[in-house]
A and B are shown apart, each in its own frame.
Chain A
Amino acid sequence: MNALISTALSGVVLMFVGLFVRNKQHIKFFAIAAILIAFIANLAQYPAVEHGGYIMYGMIEVTKFGVLFNAVALGATLLYFLLSGSEFEKVGEHVADYFALIFFILAGISLATSFSNLLMLFLAIEIMSIPQYILAGADKKSLKSNEASLKYFLMGSFSTGILLMGITLIYGAAGTFDISGLGLGAESVHPLALCGIILMVFALAFKVSAVPFHFWTPDVYDGSPTVFTSFMSTVVKAGGFVAFLRMFHSSFAGGNISEHWTLILSIITAATLVLGNFSAVFQQSVKRMLAYSSIAQAGFMLFAIVAMNNRGAEGIILYAAAYSIATIGVFAVLMKLKDYTFEGFNGLARKQPLLAGAVAVFLFSLAGIPVTAGFFAKYFVLSAAIEHGHILWLVLIAVLCAAISVYYYFRVIIAMYFKQGEPEVEAVSGGFKAALVLAIALVLVLGLFPNLLLCWL
């Protein structure tokens, strides 16, 4: 609740700050301060919900899980501001507006972690999506950015429509919007509700770019300004997953209802893993590779939803943290380079050892090598699936895909460390380096002691 209020307020205030403050550096500092306040305010609510949720008018239920996830999302955004905040001004004039839009997205995410009513779910998804359409088109003079924005908007509107239809059908079957009172787990499942659930699976799969609803992803991520791609493919995507998990966990889990969607979601997961990984192998641009890798990583996060147990819930928090930190870090370094192809990284280790080392650690984490956060993230989602018991085939596919993912992540490492070249790198400030070191430390600490995060759950 605190997170929702503070981020929404910060967004509004930032829009006005843009009118009065001309210095872009000051705007950035203001945004960082605002996110810090939101982070602390969110944590301050933790003691109140530690022993049970806090319900507001039947619309919002703040839980421990929600607060913890907000903390991850806000923390990742803080890191993102520290690393890439100064890139905002390269996109266009309206820096304060971009920051404001990001705060609105965060407000959407904190709603997505705490809705207890289908209408609130719809609102959360929309609040998360609409600012993204604008951010995708922020580089107004670039044709690709415009294309990305339009494509995202059209596809996003469709999926929103599908989500609404799903909600309507479920309402028709259950007679209520309250997610805990839907009562769909009874012996027989109403056909209307079944259709509704399937439609919701499709709509949410679109939001988290699962195959076959992923077609917008590579183009949008590639066309949008890189600095916003970094945010959209990490924190926002994780937010989508939390909405997905919360919806299915509270309404569609247990009883015989989960049988109806487990298989379809398993197939979506398998397709996402296979297609995401295989396509990433053939990319020439690191930015596009990261777009496909985000699809592939979404496949791993979907495990948590398919398995639908406590391990999965722990897994998605850890996965969101590990994946967001690593991807934000790689993007931050990528933006310092002139050339986004793999060759652009040639010889980076010699010229900028810290940058190269950071990218190597982040990529290790994405590939799931031990002692990085990514290992435990993968560990938790895989063990969630193994505990579920009936989807071992999916686990085997995932493992093969993880081995493939090593191929494209290591291409960057090979380029940086084992190839000769003179990469063109922008000058990096001391603050950037400090933030990078902080991110490395986070990845390693979570990789050694994941319980530091999970003990709060």
Chain B
Amino acid sequence: MLTVLLILIPFIAGLIAFGLKGSGPKVLGMISSLATVVIAIGSWCRFRTAPDSLNFVANWIPQLGSQFHVGLDGMGVMLCLLTAIASLLVFITIYNRNYEKANVFYGLMLLSQAGLTGVFTAFDALQFYIFWELALIPVYFLCSLWGGEKRIAVTFKFFVYTFLGSLLMLIGIIYLYSQTPDHSFSWASFTSMQVNPEDQKWLFWLFFVAFAIKMPVFPFHTWQPDTYEQSPTPVTMILSGVMVKMGLFGVIRWLLPVLPQGAAMWSDVAIVLCIIGIIYASCIAMVQNDLKRLIAYSSIAHIGLMCAAIFANNEQSLQGIMVQMFNHGINIIGLWIIVEVIQNRLGIKNLDQMGGMAQKAPRMAIFLVIISLANIGLPLTNGFIGEFLMFSGLFQYNHWFMAFAGLGIILSAVYTLGMIQKVIFGEGNELTATTTDLQPGETLALSLVVIMIIVLGVYPKPMLDLVSGTSEVVSKLF
């Protein structure tokens, strides 16, 4: 029942928010996201004692053998927690902003949260597909209504891209469904059947392309920098913090266990694509002048590493990637909060027009440094443990792959430190001289991020324990 509440609360709050006026939507959004954080933590506790009680099954379309089946495993709990925390952070950060048509803005934000939670909890393939699409629609409207100048064309490209990918996945799902002995969409029957290896060969691509577009993995990434740049920053936080995890989640939940031989056959190709993406995106990030695009490309590089680690297919790398999904989400949201602050104060996002902000906004500068260091995986920050596990898993799989992927770490230090230098150090100018430091809401959000960074960096055990069950199960099936 807790699992259903995780979807229902933001969904109902979202519908109500459409009808509210003034600061009503803001307050409602805050209440709803606080409630979901509490419930997500509650389901974590419940998961340790009685994991089966998190399942909820109801009849949906009996003729098709499709049920409404939500449930949580370790990875699900972790991602639902991330989704809830992400939306809480977003709502805290933008509490003092006044958006035009705020009721629609908050309503759509909450609906997208509901859709995302639905994706992470679905144990029925058809239901998974439906939530997968539903999470997209509110984001499409958010980007198109509140985005930058080129928003319409850019978000449209984003939509068509992901829609095409998900249709390919739908074919795969229907094909697998027709092969199941009991004609059912449930995860259990998908994973327990033995799909003919010849079929796995091509079915793999139907699923992988859908997930790769969402992550995004080179060469399916072209929508991503434009969309991140043009979207309003709160939406970018959700997009890069949570939504890209849908792709990784999809691979772990629906690709590896269902098509293990297909994945084994193509894992080298997938890893090579990821590594090309890591190096390519890092190089572009180094010469990027636009702050938002820089972070967008850095995100491609980080996701590339995670995706490569999935296909290295051992328990260690899987555990690493799951921990890293959470930590990357937190870190990148922290970075976007700072971008939001800078854009709010200066109204620009070009790096060459910034500089010297450390003097005017010292608190922001400290937060930026800590979050950036976490983002490049410095020891004692949360980014370290995940990257360490992923690299060691990748090393066991193939030394060369690990060596090339490791280049990404070095390059990420180069562009991240370069960004810090350009934003907060150096000479100030007239524009940056007018900057003011963080407001209370922003400070609160960033402090929460930094607390999580340090706590999970020093003591990552709870998170590792949470996901270890899932990684064991998946790596055995694989």
Contacts and interface: CB of A to CB of B under 8 A. Distances in A.
Please indicate whether A and B come from the same complex rather than being unrelated chains: yes
Interface of A: 364, 369-371, 375, 379, 382-383, 386-387, 395-396, 399-400, 402-403, 406-407, 410, 414, 417-419, 449-451, 454-455
Interface in B358-394: none
Interface residues of B, number: 28
Nearest to B161: A403
Given A403-B160, A418-B145, A382 B171 contact: yes
Contacts of B134: 370-371
B478 interface: no
Q: What 7 A-B pairs come out closest when comparing CB atoms? A: A403-B164, A370-B130, A399-B167, A383-B174, A370-B133, A386-B174, A418-B144
B151 to A, nearest CB: 8
B178 A387 contact: yes
A369 B168 contact: no
Interface string B149-160: 001100010011
Nearest to A396: B171
Nearest to B172: A386
B137 interface: yes
B459 interface: no
Contacts of A410: 156, 159
B141 interface: yes
A401 to B, nearest CB: 10
Contact of A379 (B141, B164, B174, B178): B174
Contacts of A383: 174, 177-178
A300 to B, nearest CB: 12
Given A399-B167, A402-B167, A451-B62, 7 more contacts: A369-B137, A371-B134, A387-B178, A403-B163, A407-B156, A417-B144, A449-B61
B171 A399 contact: yes
Contact of B130 (A371, A406, A414): A371
A402 B178 CA distance: 22
Contact of A399 (B60, B130, B152, B168): B168
B163 A454 contact: no
A454 B66 CA distance: 14
A406 B144 contact: no
A400 B164 contact: yes
B144 A414 contact: yes
B129 interface: yes
A410 B167 CA distance: 17
B61 A450 contact: yes
Given A370-B130, A414-B144, A386 B178 contact: yes
B63 A454 contact: yes
Interface centre among B63, B145, B163, B177 (most CB of A within 10 A): B163
Contacts of A386: 171, 174-175, 178
Contacts of B16: none
Interface in B48-74: 60-64
Given A379-B174, A410-B159, A418 B130 contact: no
A207 B24 CA distance: 55
Contacts of A396: 171
28 contacts: A364-B137, A369-B133, A370-B134, A371-B134, A382-B170, A383-B174, A383-B177, A383-B178, A386-B171, A386-B178, A395-B171, A399-B164, A399-B171, A400-B164, A402-B167, A403-B160, A403-B163, A406-B159, A406-B163, A410-B156, A410-B159, A414-B156, A417-B141, A417-B145, A418-B152, A449-B60, A450-B61, A451-B64
